[in-house]
Amino acid sequence: MEFAYSALEKVIFNEAATAALPQLLRDLSYQRPFLVASRTLAEKTGDLGALRQALPVELAGFNKAIRSHTPREDALELLDQVRESGADVIISVGGGSVIDAGKFVQLAIEQGLKHESEILEYAQQGNGSKGPKHGDFRLFSGTDKIRQLAIPTTLSGAEFSNSAGVLNSSSGSKEGYRGPRLCPQAVVYDPELAGHTPSWLWLSTAIRSLDHAIEGFCSGQSSAYLDGHFLHAITLFSQSLPAASLSQGDQGAINLNQQAVWLACCGLGSVPHGASHGIGYILGALCAIPHGYTSCVMLPAVLEWNAAVLGEKSRAISDAMGQGSQDAHVVVKTLISELGLPTSLRQLDVPRHLLQQIAERAYAHPVVRKNPRPIVNAGDVSAILEIAW
């Protein structure tokens, strides 16, 4: 077993992006930044304007058109814009969809890919099939052609991984892309900027990262180094999320939420996740459900289904959340419910007639196959979905 550190160089936390980003651009000698931001942030707050005014150089371009789940057509349009602009760095301001779009562009530019068919050679499909170049890190060498500076406004943790998820809109399934240096070069956590994120999105993406920590901890391929990060992330989330939910814009709570993500995501790409993530990918793509919400519903259900094999790990999760006398799935579900988030598929308006299709697609997904309690057929997935119903 091994643990590989990512190419992330710096995390700046509890600092205004208007101060941190200009200094980063100067320190890294970037002259032609391309800004990609969420539409909501661009149109409903003045923060993006303030950020642009603070930059020491002119923008090479700007995009606010990336939709939820990063549709491939949106990412391809961004690729054309970045390439034509001659940008030397991507600045992403937003959630995982925006950050993943930036990674998609990085991969295409890094590999000199000009056509959609070439890019698909690097994709892993939702059924586990892979293009001939997917995950082949030997193809990446030499000096970086373009990197990304991320200013996350949600808690999904995309800023810490070398992977990007892109939606195939025609099939309703996700494609995965990987590269050894796709993670951002630097991350800026600005609690004031993040305070504009809608409460439901902030809290649900926090549960997404709690899912990263818990499924990483439950993996058979974790380590003492990662377990320490995962367990402290679980503790920080359980302590700081209630304060964030009661007082939106509480910068102290937001700062702790962001540091919990930092801890929770240290293992992204190093340890496999399980059925909560895998089923969530199917639900997100097929039913257009945000991944924060898929984790809210699937994490407690998968923990309950896995309870028979988790043993001490289940107790450690409960202890980390200050509820050592209760089962982990109960403690997690209670936290999610107290945050006012959905805990059942019914609350997400998932049509019951789709459950069989979801089960069959999920059973074929490679992440589901790595669940700590082996999933041997689609019926096992159906059993989890019934718990979540």
Is position 4 within any domain? no
Q: Do both 173 and 306 map to the same domain? A: no
Is position 371 within any domain? yes
Residue 44 above 80 pLDDT?
no
List Cα–Cα distances, 66 to 79, 100, 318, in angstroms: 12, 10, 38
3 assigned to some structural domain: no
> pLDDT confidence of 335, banded at 50, 70, 90?
very high
218 and 356 assigned to the same domain: yes
Q: Which residues contact 266 (CB under 8 A, 6 or more apart)?
A: 160, 226, 229, 230
CA distance 176 to 179: 11
* pLDDT (mean) for 23-28: 98
Domain assignment present for residue 1? The answer is: no
pLDDT at 40: 84
Share of the chain above pLDDT 70, in %: 100
Model pLDDT for residues 244-259, shown as the tens digit of each residue: 887 777 899 999 999 9
152 with 267, same domain?
A: no
Q: What is the DSSP string of 232-290?
A: HHHHHHHHHHHHHHHSTT-HHHHHHHHHHHHHHTTTTTTS---HHHHHHHHHHHHH---
Nearest to 345 by CA among 383, 278, 293, 304: 293
pLDDT for residue 134 is more than 80: yes
Confidence bin at 184 (pLDDT 50/70/90): very high
pLDDT grade, residue 382 (50/70/90)? very high
Residue 226 has what pLDDT?
97
d(CA 129, CA 52): 42
pTM: 0.94
Same domain, yes or no: 188 and 209? no
**Which three-class secondary structure state does DSSP give residue 222?**
coil
User: Of 193, 223, 241, which one is at a domain's C-terminal end?
Assistant: 193
Phi, psi of 14, deg, nearest 5: 55, 40
For residue 57, give the nearest of 82, 83, 80, 91 by alpha carbon: 91
Is residue 354 in some structural domain? Answer: yes
Domain of 277? Answer: 198-388
Q: Do 268 and 317 reside in the same domain of the chain? A: yes
Same-domain status, 162 and 303: no
Q: Could you report the per-residue pLDDT of 292-309, keeping only the tens digit for each? A: 999 999 999 999 999 999
Report the DSSP beta bridge partners of residue 92.
36, 150
**Which tokens is 314 given?**
């289940």
Give me the CATH number covering residue 31. 3.40.50.1970
Q: Is the same domain home to 111 and 163? A: yes
pLDDT in tens, 342-352: 999 999 999 99
